[in-house]
Amino acid sequence: MTTRQVWFEHAALHDGVRADVLVTIDNGSIASVESGVPPGGDVEQVLGLTLPGMANAHSHAFHRALRGHTHGGAGDFWTWREQMYQVAARLTPDNYFDLARATFAEMVLAGYTCVGEFHYVHHRPDGSRYDDPNAMGAALIDAAREAGIRLTLLDACYLRGGPGTPLTPAQVRFSDGDVQAWADRVDLLVDDDDVRIGAAIHSARAVDADSIAAIANHAGRRAMPLHAHVSEQIAENEQIHGEHGCTPTALLAAAGALSPRFTAVHATHLVPTDIDALAAAGCTCCFCPTTERDLADGTGPSAELGDAGVRLALGSDQHAVIDPFEEMRAIEMNERLRSMRRGTHSAAELLMAGTANGYRSLGWDNGGAIAVGQLADLVTVSLDGVRLAGYSTDALLDAVVFAGLAADVTDVIIGGATIVRGGAHATIDVASELRRSITAVRGAAR
């Protein structure tokens, strides 16, 4: 890729928002950043506020087919899960490629430049292998590449229905049978410039203690990011307490899973010793606020985690909403509702959760900031729309984090290439591809 220069009207740098910022991009990375440079010559100009690219640290792409179909009515996480399994049952490598490509493209339009796809639908519905045992993972990798988004494929091990409970028929396609078979399959997947392979323990419900230790070992040997769903539900804590007499976090700690490469997804129902363990090991917690509220999960202890020094990242998870601004501010807004106090998390902290912390959690340590040596992943928000009209230049970050929306994103650069310009994806008609791919999957559903 050639060297490219772009002038940004405003940009969020590490020391605050600066005006007139000239960025030089070389080979997909940022080679120089200068502020106070007037626009001029034939240098490309981008108006608005440019932020570091945002990381969606927890995604299940196929859940996008549930949006608008599962929000009404009674029930809880467990009744929702039955509806989700009906869609999971109908995925094929072909229809999943189409659905994921459209979903990832929607993410890019919203300002996500990197996604962690927590992937567990590995095999045919009866559990038998595809000819390529990674046909589903390959479909996700190809989909991300076409959508232009950076991907960490978090390949999840899923072995049982719960403590002492076998897999249900709907879960059979998630399982490799044992950890060794999971590891052998994952080892066929390789990193490249835009794709990282990571590991995941689906949850302490779905993986026994010895297998958790073996997965953690394997992830450690390959230095892979390791994610797990942790304490999303009180019932999950009760099941693990019944089996092991401890919390899911304590079980993961005892099995050697906690490390700076580990991310606890949700981390909603934690006890103080869980927070201490996550902090001591340098872990990240990935909150998914729009999902957690939709599924009536509860809200996680963001203030306590922040005080303990645990990094927070964010994910759109089931994609009831794909909007990084909504996720960022929800950390603080949920905390306000919980504590009846304002100002626990600043806009700058929330932006870190949405950007650098997510990149780090996904194994891209050089992403999520506008600085020399960082990946050239950049998102620009228009300041001309109705939501942000009247903003103050000294509180620009507050305005965008607390009042901006995905719909305000005009331009997205990923790895130095412009993927979104003027609010449109460069190669994909996203709404029509979503409609087509969701109808194909749902149409086949019972």
Residues contributing to the site for Zn ion (CB under 5 A): 317
Q: Which residue number, 106 or 317, has a Cβ lying nearer to Zn ion?
A: 317
Q: Which residue number, 212 or 412, has a Cβ lying nearer to Zn ion?
A: 212
Q: Which residue number, 202 or 311, has a Cβ lying nearer to Zn ion?
A: 202
Classify residue 372 by its DSSP letter: T
φ and ψ of 222, to 5 deg: -95, 5
Strand partners, 315: none
CB contact at 8 A, 25 and 415: no
CB contact at 8 A, 345 and 332: yes
Q: List C-alpha distances in Å: 381 to 51, 354, 409, 422.
A: 8, 15, 4, 10
CB contact at 8 A, 377 and 413: yes
Query: What 3-state DSSP class applies to 159?
Result: coil
Q: Which residue number, 317 or 326, has a Cβ lying nearer to Zn ion?
A: 317
Candidates 63, 119, 123, 266; catalytic one: 266
Q: Which residues contact 340 (CB under 8 A, 6 or more apart)?
A: none
CB of 93 to Zn ion, least distance (A): 21
Q: Which residue number, 22 or 314, has a Cβ lying nearer to Zn ion?
A: 314
* Angstrom distance (rounded) from CA 331 to CA 334: 6
Taking CB atoms, the residue at the shortest distance from Zn ion is 317
CB contact at 8 A, 291 and 262: no
- Is 63 noted as a catalytic residue in this protein? no
Q: Which residue number, 63 or 425, has a Cβ lying nearer to Zn ion?
A: 63
Q: Which of 408, 433, 401, 417 is nearest to 106 (CA)?
A: 433
CB contact at 8 A, 232 and 264: no
Centre a 10 Å sphere on the Cβ of residue 81 and count the other Cβ atoms it contains. Answer: 14
CB of 58 to Zn ion, least distance (A): 6
Candidates 297, 317, 377, 408; catalytic one: 317
- Is 317 noted as a catalytic residue in this protein? yes
CB of 264 to Zn ion, least distance (A): 12
Centre a 10 Å sphere on the Cβ of residue 444 and count the other Cβ atoms it contains. Answer: 13
* Angstrom distance (rounded) from CA 76 to CA 296: 6
CB of 158 to Zn ion, least distance (A): 12
CB of 202 to Zn ion, least distance (A): 9
CB of 69 to Zn ion, least distance (A): 18
Q: Which residues are catalytic?
A: 266, 317
